[in-house]
Amino acid sequence: MMDQGLASSAPTPGASFTVAAPPDRRARASSGDLTDLYAPILDDLLSAQRIFDQELISDLPFVNELCATIRTYRGKMLRPALLLLAAKACGGVSKSHHTLAAVIEMVHVATLVHDDVLDEADERRKQPTVGAMAGNTAAVLLGDYLISHAFHLCGILDDHYALRRIGKTTNTVCEGELLQNVQRLRRDLTEKEYFDITQRKTGVLTATACELGAKLAGADDATVEALSDYGLWCGVAFQIVDDVLDIVGDEKQIGKTLGRDFSLGKLTLPTIHCLANAAPETAAALRDALTASDSCGPGRLRDWLAETDSIEYARSAARAYVADAVRQLDILPPSDAKTSLISMTEFVVRRRF
Amino acid sequence: MMDQGLASSAPTPGASFTVAAPPDRRARASSGDLTDLYAPILDDLLSAQRIFDQELISDLPFVNELCATIRTYRGKMLRPALLLLAAKACGGVSKSHHTLAAVIEMVHVATLVHDDVLDEADERRKQPTVGAMAGNTAAVLLGDYLISHAFHLCGILDDHYALRRIGKTTNTVCEGELLQNVQRLRRDLTEKEYFDITQRKTGVLTATACELGAKLAGADDATVEALSDYGLWCGVAFQIVDDVLDIVGDEKQIGKTLGRDFSLGKLTLPTIHCLANAAPETAAALRDALTASDSCGPGRLRDWLAETDSIEYARSAARAYVADAVRQLDILPPSDAKTSLISMTEFVVRRRF
């Protein structure tokens, strides 16, 4: 994954905010889209980024070096952008919003760091190395360091509502991750169970981002609730597309190995749909391949999913969720931030990285 | 490790608070000591325990089952007891103290859960199993769940000072763990570096426990600082004794495998002292054994350490730290809680589990 600076087009020269974007032309066009979407809050996003970076500065040089490695995890900055756009659309962005945007991103990056530990643990089943072990240990601790700093940052805010919502949200995210882990080897996972996991592990964080953006901008209860729902459905759609891209994405554009869900035995919407709708022999082959995960190449999986049009089924589910999300925005008066929130839903379903 | 109920002698029948204690007679006597020491705050400790248990209740039954497994981690309840005794000695225990005591214990248990993941990761170098992997994944997530709930509990408090101190403390604990990890394979670790790690990873949490106990009881700044120092030196002494017991303890009494530090290549005070003071051939043999960790039985290690009297050296260091800790308590008026705080330091250095 390469970093392509958004900072060059930003009004604050030398700022460290970057949007990870792949190098080919089509991808650059997507990154351009994102820059346009973020335009109403680009300065605020840079402020949040500075708070994020400053919070992690340690008196131990090696900790600073370790934290530098998480730059590769900072991709689209989607969650802080949603929080700031929601704030702008509801009255205006304050310093508390910058801090909360940094908190939300820090929580998100911590989950990515620990997710990688969990994934690595399984990859290591095939080839254990001491180097991978040392990396694993540091990654558990780095994730803890990020979670701790996220809450430490919350302490700077003089806002108990925000603190309680963040605490409640991270509780739910952890439950979602635990739920996903315990359901991982089940072959009869239902769509309902998939959506329950997805809401908990991904949806609630984007919901809270939008909710707090609105709430701290002084929005009324109905607007806060609408923005929370917008964030929830956006997050669920984002996760569905993430799961689709794990099967049919382009590794270079996404910047990570494809097929991770499948090799970990995780069912996602496309595979759940295929198992439920395929001819018995296809379903049996898919089930067998999931059990002996690495015996199936991505090509065979795509062929099976094509039989039931399951990728398109998942994409259409994502489109339905963002349509619901957009309807929530009717409560807002017109603004450039509202326009960006609407366009963001298009990005969520159209994105290739 | 077996649980022996303290609840039976407590004024609240049926409460779930237990002090883990081993079954033999000498250990039972030690557990008796601890029950006596906790007498001034036993009801409060039970209240903290109830808050701890209630906070972790989930709408997902399997999460509740997973949380039940951490009962084995709940041992001496030393940190919440220190917080509550400090509060009592400084004016009185409030509901906020109960909540904070639960928070401090939750942070502590989270570090134990993640420590075990890190240790397991290394043990697994020798014999990787899928079962161990599944356990590892759940343990990373369970640790995260505990950290999240600790901060969620903080949100119940209407006390920004406490929240900021907890956040700052967990940042430092994480740094201590990271520092220990990065220094792990160094054979030239100095005593100064060992104490730096020990203060960060263990000392600051007991310091914050005592500091917040005093502060929220309305103590003046000098008393708060004295209690913080008391907690810091108690914590450091506790860790030194922990490291000693990892070498010369009784597995049945301690309830965990001995020699973990050594097999992970972690130098602690006894081994650092021995390397610096032993005859060249003994130091060379110890260094070699540390590098190829499992080639050395505990007997050989004890023989080497006996040559330089390094176990006694470490124990005397612990005694010096608790002597400093006790001196801090001169600022307090006489009370049963103060007496317990003094006696606690004796327990810290004399304990066998």
Domain boundaries along the sequence of chain A = 3-350
> What is the β-pairing status of strands B3-5 and B18-20?
antiparallel
On the 0-12 / 13-18 / 19+ scale of CB atoms within 10 A, A318 is buried
B181 in A contact zone (CB under 8 Å)? yes
Helices B221-248 and B191-198, interaxial angle, to 10°?
Answer: 120
Distances (CA, A) of A352 to A30, A249, B8: 8, 7, 62
B158 in A contact zone (CB under 8 Å)? yes
**pLDDT at position B22, please?**
37
Q: Which residues of B touch A149 (CB under 8 A)?
A: 167, 171
What distance, in Å, lies between the first and last C-alpha atoms of chain B? 10
**pLDDT at position A29, please?**
38
Cβ-based neighbours of A81, under 8 Å, separated by 6 or more: A37, A38, A41, A45, A344
The string of pLDDT tens digits covering residues A44-91 is: 999 999 999 999 999 999 889 888 877 767 678 999 999 999 999 999
What is the overall mean pLDDT for chain A? 84
Q: Do B144 and A114 touch (CB under 8 A)?
A: yes
Q: What is the token pair recorded at A309? A: 């049009």
pLDDT surpasses 80 at B255: no
Which parts of B90-220 fold into alpha helices (H)?
95-123, 130-154, 160-182, 191-198, 204-215
pLDDT surpasses 50 at B73: yes
> What is the β-pairing status of strands A18-20 and A3-5?
antiparallel
**pLDDT at position A68, please?**
84
Best A59, A65, A117, A144 member to test B by mutation, with max B CBs in 10 Å, is A144
Cβ-based neighbours of A49, under 8 Å, separated by 6 or more: A15, A16, A17, A77, A102
Q: Rounded to the nearest 5°, which phi and psi values hold at A250?
A: -110, 115
Q: Do A117 and B124 touch (CB under 8 A)?
A: no
Q: Which amino acid is at A30?
A: S
What's the length of chain B?
Answer: 353
Nearest to B6 by CA among B32, B25, B27: B32
The string of pLDDT tens digits covering residues B95-105 is: 999 999 999 99
pLDDT surpasses 80 at B28: no
Q: Do A124 and B128 touch (CB under 8 A)?
A: yes
Q: What is the DSSP string of B267-336?
A: --HHHHHHHHHS-HHHHHHHHHHHHTGGGS-HHHHHHHHHHTTHHHHHHHHHHHHHHHHHHHGGGSPP-H
The span from the CA of B157 to the CA of B349, in Å, is 34
Q: Which residues of B touch A166 (CB under 8 A)?
A: 151, 155
**pLDDT at position A175, please?**
94
Contact B258, B298 (CB under 8 A): yes
**Measured between CB atoms, which of A125, A143, A175 is closest to B58?**
A175
Chain A: closest CA distance from residue B75 (Å):
23
**pLDDT at position A293, please?**
54
For A319-323, B108-112, B252-256, B297-301, which range has the lowest pLDDT when averaged over its residues? Answer: B252-256
* Inter-residue long-range contacts of B329-333, CB under 8 Å, 24+ positions, other chains counted: B329/B89, B329/B226, B329/B230, B330/B226, B331/B222, B331/B223, B331/B226, B332/B89, B332/B90, B332/B223, B332/B226
Q: pLDDT tens digits, chain A, 353 residues: what are they?
A: 233 333 333 333 333 334 443 334 333 334 457 889 999 999 999 999 999 999 999 999 988 988 887 776 767 899 999 999 999 999 999 999 999 999 999 999 999 888 877 765 443 333 332 234 447 788 889 999 999 999 999 988 878 889 999 999 999 999 999 999 888 878 899 999 999 999 999 999 999 999 999 999 999 999 999 999 999 999 999 999 999 999 988 777 766 667 778 888 889 999 999 999 999 999 999 988 887 755 566 788 899 999 999 999 999 999 999 999 999 999 999 999 999 999 999 999 998 77
On the 0-12 / 13-18 / 19+ scale of CB atoms within 10 A, B14 is exposed
Q: Which amino acid is at B316?
A: S
Nearest to B318 by CA among B239, B238, B245, B237: B237
Cβ-based neighbours of B245, under 8 Å, separated by 6 or more: B254, B258, B351, B352, B353
What's the length of chain A?
Answer: 353
Residue A351's CB is within 10 A of a number of other CB atoms, namely: 20
Q: Which residue has the higher pLDDT, B254 or A63?
A: A63
Q: Do B164 and A155 touch (CB under 8 A)?
A: yes
Nearest to B12 by CA among B48, B64, B55, B65: B48
Nearest CA in chain B to A132: B121
Residue A91's CB is within 10 A of a number of other CB atoms, namely: 15
The span from the CA of B34 to the CA of B82, in Å, is 12
A291 in B contact zone (CB under 8 Å)? no
What is the overall mean pLDDT for chain B? 84
Q: Which residue has the higher pLDDT, A28 or B64?
A: B64
Contact A6, A38 (CB under 8 A): yes
User: According to the CATH classification, is domain B3-350 in 1.20.140.10?
Assistant: no
Q: Which residue has the higher pLDDT, A132 or B34?
A: B34
Cβ-based neighbours of A350, under 8 Å, separated by 6 or more: none
Distances (CA, A) of A22 to A25, A38, A241, A304: 9, 18, 18, 29
Q: What is the token pair recorded at B83? A: 């917080």
B132 in A contact zone (CB under 8 Å)? no
Single pTM value for the model? 0.86
pLDDT surpasses 60 at B88: yes
- The torsion region of residue A14 among left (phi > 0), alpha (psi -120 to 50) and beta comes to left
On the 0-12 / 13-18 / 19+ scale of CB atoms within 10 A, A185 is middle
**pLDDT at position A176, please?**
95
Q: Using CB atoms and an 8 Å cut-off, which of residues 16-75 of chain B contact chain A?
A: 58, 60, 62-63, 66
For A231-240, B44-53, B131-140, B218-227, which range has the lowest pLDDT when averaged over its residues? Answer: B131-140
